[in-house]
Amino acid sequence: MLNKKAILILIFGIVSLLFSWVPGAGLVLAIFTLCLYAVNKTVRSDIKSEIGRTLAIIAILVSICSLFYVIVLMPLPGNNAPAWLLSLRSAITNTAFYSDFENNFIAEGRYIYLLKGLGVTFEVTFLAVLLGIVLGVIVALVRSSYDTLKDELRGGFGKGVLAFFYKLCGIYLTVIRGTPVVVQLMIIYFVIFATSNNKIMVAVLAFGINSGAYVAEIIRGGIMSIDKGQFEAGRSLGFGYVRTMTFIIIPQAFKAVLPALANEFIVLIKETSVSGYVGLQELTKGGDIIRSRTYSAFMPLIAVAVIYLLIVMFFSWLVSLLERRLKNSER
């Protein structure tokens, strides 16, 4: 019965989001979904009801935007427009707040700077996360392998190569974690790739290399947290070190560090705001361009801050769902 109620809340949340572009309809459905969630307190522990509630909240925000467009921005059909709508629109458009809003976002289509910047921010973030995970896994495996095998390897070429890469990874972690990401970004753009005009590639490399150092320590901590008995269990099954790591250790470590990796992704989204130092037009730079055109700092900066806040809140919510799902799977 509880599962059916949770599914019902999820369905209404999805429907309210789909109808949020219709003025009024999505708002009513979203409010009904939230009321359904509030009344049925017993289903709040179910992930499906949490997703439905969040979709309803998003639907309310979208519905408010659609209502604002209809009331204030949508072209009116001449003399056939209702008198109440004309008076309401006049009352809103004559305020100083709306004048500032129109000057910063509507005039000359300046909101496009924020939309394009948001797209660039997501592009750089996702590509940098992929690069950071690849680098982090490699560095974590090298360091954890050396810590595990250094007593078993009795000299020779293999131990020398492993020790060399262990020291190299240590230098990488020390340098990357010991210098600001904005300095690393500028070194890569103005020094290493001084002849390149591909700013997105430079930003992906800079943030990916920076993130890789932190991902490496997160994954290494996860690997080292696995009980040594798991290694012995793998060897008792006839697995070598590589197969034991691949099939036994790494899957458990990834499950343990997945929330921390997701949080690293959230941090990386905010770190991309310094990409403007190399002229990349991401979200923060888009707001700065608007500010330079209108000489008004409040609206563009607040808009950028609110967008970042909403993004972080959304992904933080996804991380909390992931953590709850992992806890439930352990039971």
What is the domain partition of the chain in residue ranges?
2-94, 111-330
Tell me how far apart the alpha carbons of residues 246 and 232 are, in angstroms, rounded to a whole number.
Answer: 14
**24 backbone dihedrals φ, ψ, rounded to 5°:** 95, -45
Instruction: Note the pLDDT of residue 2.
Output: 53
Instruction: Note the pLDDT of residue 286.
Output: 94
Sorted by sequence, the CB contacts under 8 Å of residue 259 that are 6+ apart come out as 319, 322, 323, 326
**Tokens standing for residue 290:** 């608007």
Give pLDDT tens digits along the chain (331 positions). 557 888 888 899 999 999 988 878 888 999 999 998 888 877 777 788 888 988 999 999 999 888 888 888 877 766 677 777 788 888 888 888 889 999 999 888 899 999 999 999 999 999 999 999 999 999 998 888 887 776 666 666 667 788 889 899 999 999 999 999 999 999 999 999 988 889 999 999 999 999 999 999 999 888 888 887 887 788 788 887 778 888 888 888 888 888 888 888 999 999 999 999 998 999 999 999 999 999 988 999 999 999 999 999 888 888 888 777 777 665 5
| Closest among 193, 197, 209, 202 to 130, alpha carbons compared | 209
Instruction: Note the pLDDT of residue 146.
Output: 80
Q: Is the Cα dihedral 46, 7, 60, 41 positive or negative?
A: negative
**Tokens standing for residue 299:** 């609206």
Looking at domain 111-330, its CATH superfamily turns out to be MetI-like (1.10.3720.10)
Instruction: Note the pLDDT of residue 93.
Output: 85
**Tokens standing for residue 143:** 């360091």
Instruction: Note the pLDDT of residue 261.
Output: 87
Q: Tell me the pTM.
A: 0.85
**Tokens standing for residue 94:** 């004559």
Instruction: Note the pLDDT of residue 90.
Output: 85
Tell me how far apart the alpha carbons of residues 299 and 261 are, in angstroms, rounded to a whole number.
Answer: 33
